[in-house]
């Protein structure tokens, strides 16, 4: 059963939450030379969400600092920060703001606007609630979520590429996004 199987969410899960960046990850995968995948992550991000008694009325917003990209290769990271890709001097952040939430199988979908490189597009996040824990060893209440999405970088005007001699392109257009989120309850819902 998901949070959206019923209109009512137990009151101890509702409230305002803040993403814990120390225990969360924002990562991506892109195909390189049509042979393998390059993986990377962002180390500077923040976000918050509100879980309401009717989960379908809940909301999410997040910001990622694009200069914090880490693919394990400093030269590649610098290139991705350049005007060929993110152009971080002109477009320093990626933002996401939900526009709706709906049930989907064992999980749910957060529909929302993703803004990147001066372009805003609707991007759905496939989300699974991985658990809620009150009275953690940190003395707080936490929630866990896993989420995935796919975007086409051309949709955001990030179209730099290198044609390969035998055909194809050096860098895939589709980007797989994966989120592992742990959040801390900031303000419980009023009883």
> Which residue bears the tokens 């991000």?
45
Q: What pLDDT shows up at residue 170? A: 60
Q: What pLDDT shows up at residue 6? A: 43
Q: What pLDDT shows up at residue 3? A: 52
Q: Are 26 and 41 in contact (CB under 8 A)?
A: yes
Residue 66, SS3 per DSSP: helix
Checking DSSP bridges between strand 59-65 and strand 45-51, what pairing results, if any?
antiparallel
Domain spans of the chain, in order of start = 11-188
The strand ranges marked E within 10-168 are: 15-19, 25-32, 36-42, 45-51, 59-65, 69-70, 93-104, 107-116, 119-133, 142-152
The partner residues of 178 in beta bridges, in order of sequence, read: 27, 148
pLDDT digit string (tens) for the chain, length 191 residues: 455 444 444 455 889 999 999 999 999 998 776 667 889 999 999 999 999 888 888 999 999 999 999 999 999 899 889 998 899 999 999 999 999 999 888 778 999 999 999 999 999 999 998 888 888 888 999 999 999 999 998 999 887 666 556 655 567 789 999 999 999 999 877 65
Q: What pLDDT shows up at residue 163? A: 54
Q: Rounded distance, CA 57 to CA 33, Å?
A: 43
DSSP assignment letter at 7: S
Residues 6 or more apart in contact with residue 6 via CB below 8 angstroms: none
Q: Rounded distance, CA 72 to CA 74, Å?
A: 7
Q: Is 96 left (phi over 0), alpha (psi -120 to 50) or beta?
A: beta
CB burial of residue 76 (10 Å; 0-12, 13-18, 19+): middle
Write out the CATH class of domain 11-188. mainly beta
Q: Is 105 left (phi over 0), alpha (psi -120 to 50) or beta?
A: left
């Amino acid at each position: 059963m998901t949070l959206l199987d019923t209109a009512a969410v137990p009151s101890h899960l509702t409230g305002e939450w803040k993403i814990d960046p120390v225990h969360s990850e924002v990562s991506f995968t892109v195909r390189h030379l049509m042979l393998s995948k390059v993986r990377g992550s962002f180390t500077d991000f923040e976000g918050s969400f509100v879980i309401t008694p009717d989960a379908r009325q809940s909301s999410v917003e997040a910001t990622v600092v694009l200069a914090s990209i880490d693919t394990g290769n400093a030269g590649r990271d610098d290139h991705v920060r350049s005007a060929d890709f993110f152009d971080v001097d002109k477009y320093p952040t990626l933002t996401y703001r939900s526009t709706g939430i709906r049930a989907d199988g064992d999980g749910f979908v957060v529909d929302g606007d993703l803004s990147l490189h001066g372009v805003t597009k609707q991007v759905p996040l496939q989300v699974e609630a991985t658990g809620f824990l009150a009275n953690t060893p940190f003395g707080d209440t936490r929630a866990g979520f896993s989420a995935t999405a796919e975007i086409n970088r051309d949709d955001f005007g990030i179209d730099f590429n290198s044609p390969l001699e035998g055909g194809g392109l050096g860098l895939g257009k589709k980007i797989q996004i994966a989120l592992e989120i742990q959040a801390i309850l900031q303000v419980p819902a009023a009883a």
